[in-house]
Every structure is written in structure tokens, then in C-alpha cells.
């Protein structure tokens, strides 16, 4: 029950569109420090996390913030978290997928 890296990237891009609309995720260094790459201040960063929590139905504890540096880190972290803790949001999508 994992979400693919492509889907996660799309989710990140969609949340960022609200916070930093001018950013093209494809154009940044995915292994560089994400906040430096796209110039997010602490409020922006919090909004990103908030957006990801709500969109993906995962919780991202504050203690984990420091472990996530780059875009690649974030995608990997989110993949791990969404596999660990599927929530209502994911299930609904999955159920509809199961009917296929």
C-alpha cells in the first residue's frame, strides 16, 4: 500500500503551487537542501508540511523535520510514512481503485 514516487512528487508540487507558485520542482537539485533550493522560510516550510499531512493523510512529527533535507529525502520519507500509516484519505482512493 505505497504511493509511488511520481505521485508523491506530484503531491509536493501541488502543495508548493500554493506556497511558492513560481517553483518548478523538475528544475531543482533533488539532492540539495530543499528549503535552500526553493527558498522556504520557516512558515513556508510549516505550510508545506501541513499541506502534505492533509493531502497524503500522514503525520510528520516535528522531530522528523531535521531528517528530511532534500527533495529526494522528502519523497523517500513520505513513501515510508504513507506505507506505515494509511488513513481514510488513502483508503478511499484505494477502495475506488479496487473496484477496477
Partner 1 sequence: MPSLGADMESGVLLEWLVEPGAQVHRGDIVAVVDTDKAEIEIESFEDGTIDDLMEPGARVPVGERIATITVDPTSGSQPDPAPVPAPTPAQPVKSVVPTPTPAPSPPAPVAAAPRVVLPHHERPRVSPLARRAAEARHVDLTHLEGTGYDHAIVLADVERADADSRIPTTEPATSALAGAAAPDGHAATMREATAALMARSKREIPHFSVETTIDLANAMAWLESHNAGRPAAERVLPAALLLAATARAARDVPELNAHFEGGRVKPATAVHVGVAIALRGGGLIAPAILDADRSSVDETMERLRDVATRAKRGVMRASEMTQATITVTNLGDRGADKVLGVIYPPQVAIVGLGAIRDRVTAVDGMIAVRPSVIATVAADHRVTDGHQASRFLAALDHHLQTPELF
Smallest distance from partner 1 to CB 20, Å? 6
Of 1, 27, 43, 97, the one binding partner 1 (CB under 8 A) is 43
Q: Which residue stretch of 3-11, 15-23, 72-80, 88-96 sits at the interface with partner 1 (rule: CB under 8 A)?
A: 15-23
User: Can you spell out the DSSP letters for 47-99?
Assistant: HHHHHHHHHHT----GGGGGG--BHHHHHHHHHHHHHH---HHHHHHHHHHHT
Task: Enumerate the β-bridge partners of residue 33.
Answer: 70
Smallest distance from partner 1 to CB 98, Å? 28
Alpha-carbon span 40 to 43, nearest angstrom: 8
Of 16, 49, 56, 75, the one binding partner 1 (CB under 8 A) is 49
Q: Does 47 bind partner 1 (CB under 8 A)?
A: yes
Q: Does 36 bind partner 1 (CB under 8 A)?
A: yes
Q: Does 15 bind partner 1 (CB under 8 A)?
A: no
Helices 71-84, 42-56: axis angle to 10 degrees equals 40
Amino acid at each position: 500500500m505505497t504511493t509511488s514516487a511520481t505521485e508523491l512528487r506530484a503531491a509536493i508540487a501541488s502543495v508548493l503551487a500554493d506556497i511558492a507558485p513560481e517553483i518548478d520542482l523538475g528544475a531543482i537539485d533533488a539532492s540539495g537542501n530543499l528549503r535552500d533550493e526553493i527558498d522556504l522560510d520557516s512558515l513556508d516550510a510549516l505550510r508545506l508540511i501541513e499541506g502534505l499531512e492533509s493531502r497524503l493523510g500522514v503525520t510528520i512529527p516535528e522531530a522528523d523535520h531535521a531528517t528530511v533535507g532534500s527533495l529526494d529525502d522528502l519523497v523517500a520519507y513520505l513513501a515510508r510514512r504513507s506505507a506505515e500509516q494509511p488513513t481514510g484519505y488513502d483508503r478511499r482512493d484505494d477502495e475506488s481503485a479496487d473496484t477496477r
